[in-house]
Structure 1
Amino acid sequence: MKLSALTLASLPAAIQTPTYDRTAHAPGVVHLGLGAFHRAHQAMVFDQLLASGDTRWGIHGVGMTRPDLVNPLRAQDGLYAVRIADAKGVKWQVPGALWRTSVATTERDAVVQAIAAPATRWVTLTVTEKGYTPALGQLLLDGLRLRQQAGLPGITIASCDNLQGNGHKLQALVKAEIPAKHTTPQDAQLLVWLDTHCAFPCSMVDRIVPAATAEVMAAAQEALGLQDACALSTEGFWEWVIENRFADPADASLLQSAGVRVTDDVHSYEEAKLRMLNGSHTAMALIGAVTARPFIANCIGAEHIRTFVHQLMGREVSPHLSRSDWAEYRNALIARFANPHLKHSVHQIATDSSQKIPQRWPPSVLGQIAQGASFEHHALAAAVFVRYTLGVDEQGQTYTLNDPQAASLMALGAAQRTEPETCVRALLAREDLWGSALPQHAAWIARVTHWHQQVMQHGVDKAIQQLLAQEA
């Protein structure tokens, strides 16, 4: 027996399940990027709104490219269990907000029609940093054009990806698909409609959601008494900060009632998350990958790595943040990273590092340079990134670089055993990774080169310990 609408009633009473009707209403939300993160974060917020009696928050979930992620959810009627584990204990919940599913690559018209459906009020996106392509802009524009032509209301289109100013970037991406020259009267009207009736709020989302594992599925079967091929594990903490910019202004108070922070200052939270959580996550993931530590909890559990991450955030990131409670946020992050229930793979987090590092590290390094302050922790992290491109850990085990730039990174990285300084300089010269300023900064290049030499000669752990002794 597996989890489905038919077996839902057989679950143990201790497991929270949807009590609302999941079939009587059309979805009000189209979500692009139906991965684990969305299902353990926003889908649970929308589940809470549905449970309150507001039927407008059911989700039409869209997998962008992978039917193998969507088909198991279809087989379970959009139901899946989430294990929520932290210092307070472990509980299981089955959210019911996912009502329909599509795959964008094979069912594009269904996605366009879903965006244009009269019941649709929101589109949300978690398509990762690399997903913001012209094809995404065109997909959204096609659906929005149909809405406008049908005389339907505008909607809220909310990017929830780790991009600074994500709402602005998404709006520009959509509008870029309208020809700048030879604009027809219809295109001109669509532009006005987008600006007048649709909202593209910036937002920041935060919850640690590891990729699904066999261990979580086995734990779900024990807790539910049913098979669940889509079970997830997450932490108790979650945060969603969104700009007070909605097609329907009444949505602000609704979201606040579900625990969402609605504000005019998303930027403060956005930059803190990108540079503190995401920046240190990337550093730990690369350290873990090279030292053969499989999970983030293994990394933060080592005292020298925990001290390194604490100092990275406190000394080199925090001076350039506008979030006033950064110290409490940092301490909470250290505790969250150590959660033993979250088997968060370092190789999962290291995925797409070339797309993530530009958002996460250079702003702090440039801030330190401007203040004449130390950037040693980021220099060591960058040195570990160079070492990571070898594709083999310190135990001699090979691993795959899952990155759009994998071929060019490994080609450069291959030279580091014989010509390490040349390799470091070549990687640090890439403006797509470091921006335009850092590749010209001699002291930055010198310190990354120094730490790379220590990493190659003595290993990552010894290099970190050397840095801590130096910075004490």
Structure 2
Amino acid sequence: MQPLNQATLTQLTDSALATPSPVQLPRYRRTDARVGVVHLGLGAFHRAHQAMVFDALLQRGDPRWGVLGVAMRTTELADALTAQDGLYAVQVASREALRWQVVGSVLQACVAAREPAQVVAAMAAPGTRWVTLTVTEKGYGPALAALLVQGLAARRAAGLGGLTIASCDNLSDNGRKLQQLCVDAAQHDAALAQWIDTACAFPNSMVDRIVPAATAQHRSDAAQALGLADACALGTEEFWEWVIERRFVDDADGDALAAVGVQVVADVKPFEEAKLRMLNGSHTAIALIGAVLGVPTVADCIARPDIHRFVRSLMTEVVMPHLQRPGLPAYRDALLARFANPELRHKVHQIATDSSLKIPLRWQATVLAQLAANGSIEPLALAAAVWMRYLLGADEQGQAYAISDPLGQALQATAQRRRDDVAGTVRALLAVSSIWGEVLPHDVRWTARVEHWLQVIRRQGVAAALAQLHPSD
């Protein structure tokens, strides 16, 4: 099939969708929907996850779940969505089939850095009921707290009730941490701080769906499927999961969410820990291995028997013994199948972004638990050594790559300065307490094994290290 010339196509908008379409479209009148959710952190993940859940709620006839999507700083996506009336297409890919869906829940889009007053006014609007967030782990700082507190202060001053404010980022105990962040930021006004603490609900939640960065191929494929130009098209996998604590301003919201597939539970922690340590922890390890080997995507990595065996062993022998999520073997097998999905084209360098923030959340607790139980630490010691090799900024073929990390420049300088001194590299990089904590840098067993694997990697390469980890293969 010849690709369509997107420049000559009609743009995806409400009016353009008035004609029959071969893909799934919103089955509700978008003019009847109203903004009930302010989402901070507009990006691919939100649009392929929470926004699709809210779209399902709108499909069920509840008009209160329309979204104001707020990009925090960058303007391109918000402006592109505005030009398309908030509409965009999502390609949902399983190993068996591809399908397209046009999502209609994003009714408006703006940029917090450019239109802060609009964001504050939206949080203070009578129809707003929820605030959701996907601002990444590094986004939970003073600027976010100030924006939220300003909106909540305006809401309280208007005599309105509190909001359900749900973090959807990969942070353990994310609801409580966000609540404390907001309460602390409101300490200049004791009455406001108390109102935030008591009138608003901050549920812990865990979200899961693999959403690669949107590409030109997504836009081309969307044009082929829709017959319309969609500048905001993206792709994702069929699997999705949202586990949220039953802690809402309006308790009936839990039943509404459950009706469209959200798991509403008393305690998110078993699900949260399994996701962080099994999916996210494995993802980080795969990404670093792939980056150093020069293997571009997760599916390409997991197609290699040595990496597949490494990941399965990491989850089964090292991570799972310390988790309580029900059905762990089935969850592990589902993760391996998802990693292998070739349609996702999830790039390793995208996943390796911000590794200094991800490693403490995804690896550290497992290493400590294994050391305390006198269990195997080999897969994670190898992964830590691969991370140190990754910091050199070039793969094993000599191809340079950028390291996108808040500590990237300092870490790369350390790795390069000590590139001929393996023991010195390990000492210096493990000494970064924000990554490895206060215990691991002084644990002789851990440091010795990381040093061993870095020595193997530097002399023989990552593939040789993987082979030595499982010599029977």
CA deviation map 1:18-43 (0-9, x unaligned): 12222344300000000100000010
CA contact (8 A) 2:183 2:197 kept: no
CA contact (8 A) 2:184 2:193 kept: no
Select 2:158's aligned residue among 150, 153, 156.
Answer: 150
Q: Which amino acid aligns with 1:165?
A: D
Question: Could you tell me which residue of structure 1 aligns to residue 113 of structure 2?
Answer: 105
CA contact (8 A) 1:11 1:225 kept: no
1:7 is aligned to 2:7: no
1:155: Cα distance to partner? 0.9
Give runs of aligned pairs for residues 158-177 of structure 1, distance below 5 A.
158-177=166-185
In 1, the alpha carbon distance for the partners of 2:198 and 2:371 equals 42
Give runs of aligned pairs for residues 52-131 of structure 1, distance below 5 A.
52-131=60-139
Question: Could you tell me which residue of structure 1 aligns to residue 416 of structure 2?
Answer: 414
1:68: Cα distance to partner? 1.5
Give runs of aligned pairs for residues 236-247 of structure 1, distance below 5 A.
236-247=238-249
Q: Indicate the SS of the match to 2:103.
A: coil
Question: Could you tell me which residue of structure 2 aligns to residue 338 of structure 1?
Answer: 340
CA contact (8 A) 1:416 1:424 kept: no
CA contact (8 A) 1:11 1:224 kept: no
Q: Which amino acid aligns with 1:469?
A: P
Question: Could you tell me which residue of structure 2 aligns to residue 449 of structure 1?
Answer: 451
Question: Could you tell me which residue of structure 1 aligns to residue 377 of structure 2?
Answer: 375
CA deviation map 1:256-304 (0-9, x unaligned): 0010000011000000000000000000000011101010001000001
In 1, the alpha carbon distance for the partners of 2:437 and 2:320 equals 21
Q: Indicate the SS of the match to 1:28.
A: strand
CA deviation map 1:233-272 (0-9, x unaligned): 1111000000000000110100000100000110000000
CA contact (8 A) 2:367 2:377 kept: yes
1:136 is aligned to 2:144: yes
In 2, the alpha carbon distance for the partners of 1:5 and 1:27 equals 17
User: Any gaps of 5 or more consecutive residues in structure 1?
Assistant: none
Q: Which amino acid aligns with 1:460?
A: V
Give runs of aligned pairs for residues 357-372 of structure 1, distance below 5 A.
357-372=359-374
In 1, the alpha carbon distance for the partners of 2:130 and 2:267 equals 21
Q: Indicate the SS of the match to 2:361.
A: helix
In 2, the alpha carbon distance for the partners of 1:56 and 1:88 equals 34
* TM-score normalised over the length of structure 1: 0.97
Select 1:39's aligned residue among 26, 33, 47.
Answer: 47
In 1, the alpha carbon distance for the partners of 2:440 and 2:331 equals 28
In 1, the alpha carbon distance for the partners of 2:18 and 2:351 equals 36
CA contact (8 A) 1:376 1:467 kept: yes
1:413: Cα distance to partner? 1.1
CA contact (8 A) 1:158 1:167 kept: yes
User: Any gaps of 5 or more consecutive residues in structure 2?
Assistant: 1-9
CA contact (8 A) 2:167 2:204 kept: yes
CA contact (8 A) 2:363 2:380 kept: yes
The root-mean-square deviation of aligned C-alpha atoms, in Å, is 1.1
Give runs of aligned pairs for residues 433-472 of structure 1, distance below 5 A.
433-469=435-471
CA contact (8 A) 1:70 1:102 kept: yes
Select 2:289's aligned residue among 287, 309, 318.
Answer: 287
CA deviation map 1:120-177 (0-9, x unaligned): 0000000000000111011001101111111101110000000000001100111111
Using the TM superposition, name which of 302-311 and 18-27 deviates more.
18-27
In 2, the alpha carbon distance for the partners of 1:63 and 1:121 equals 19
1:324: Cα distance to partner? 2.6
Q: Which amino acid aligns with 1:100?
A: Q
CA contact (8 A) 1:290 1:393 kept: yes
Give runs of aligned pairs for residues 15-26 of structure 1, distance below 5 A.
15-26=23-34
In 2, the alpha carbon distance for the partners of 1:330 and 1:416 equals 37
Query: In 2 relative to 1, CA 456–10 (structure 1 residues): closer, same or farther, beyond 3 Å?
Result: farther
Using the TM superposition, name which of 344-353 and 64-73 deviates more.
64-73
Q: Indicate the SS of the match to 2:73.
A: coil
1:99: Cα distance to partner? 0.3
CA contact (8 A) 2:385 2:451 kept: yes
* TM-score normalised over the length of structure 2: 0.96
CA contact (8 A) 1:16 1:93 kept: yes
1:11: Cα distance to partner? 5.1
Q: Indicate the SS of the match to 2:121.
A: helix
Q: Which amino acid aligns with 1:339?
A: N
In 1, the alpha carbon distance for the partners of 2:405 and 2:366 equals 23
Q: Indicate the SS of the match to 2:46.
A: helix
Question: Could you tell me which residue of structure 1 aligns to residue 261 of structure 2?
Answer: 259
CA deviation map 1:200-259 (0-9, x unaligned): 000000000000011111111111111111111111100000000000011010000010
Q: Which amino acid aligns with 1:231?
A: A
In 2, the alpha carbon distance for the partners of 1:88 and 1:176 equals 49
1:299 is aligned to 2:301: yes
In 2, the alpha carbon distance for the partners of 1:416 and 1:289 equals 20
Q: Indicate the SS of the match to 1:29.
A: strand
Q: Indicate the SS of the match to 1:211.
A: coil
In 1, the alpha carbon distance for the partners of 2:153 and 2:425 equals 49
1:321 is aligned to 2:323: yes
CA contact (8 A) 2:35 2:128 kept: yes
Q: Which amino acid aligns with 1:64?
A: M
In 2, the alpha carbon distance for the partners of 1:455 and 1:416 equals 15
CA deviation map 1:32-60 (0-9, x unaligned): 00010000001000000001110000000
In 2, the alpha carbon distance for the partners of 1:340 and 1:371 equals 37
CA contact (8 A) 2:172 2:272 kept: yes
Question: Could you tell me which residue of structure 1 aligns to residue 214 of structure 2?
Answer: 212
CA contact (8 A) 1:199 1:246 kept: yes
In 2, the alpha carbon distance for the partners of 1:246 and 1:202 equals 11
Q: Indicate the SS of the match to 1:138.
A: helix
In 1, the alpha carbon distance for the partners of 2:327 and 2:417 equals 43
Question: Could you tell me which residue of structure 2 aligns to residue 28 of structure 1?
Answer: 36
Q: Which amino acid aligns with 1:63?
A: A
Q: Which amino acid aligns with 1:8?
A: L
CA deviation map 1:444-466 (0-9, x unaligned): 00100000011111111111111
CA deviation map 1:308-348 (0-9, x unaligned): 00000000100111113111101000000000100000000
1:196: Cα distance to partner? 2.3
Question: Could you tell me which residue of structure 1 aligns to residue 6 of structure 2?
Answer: none
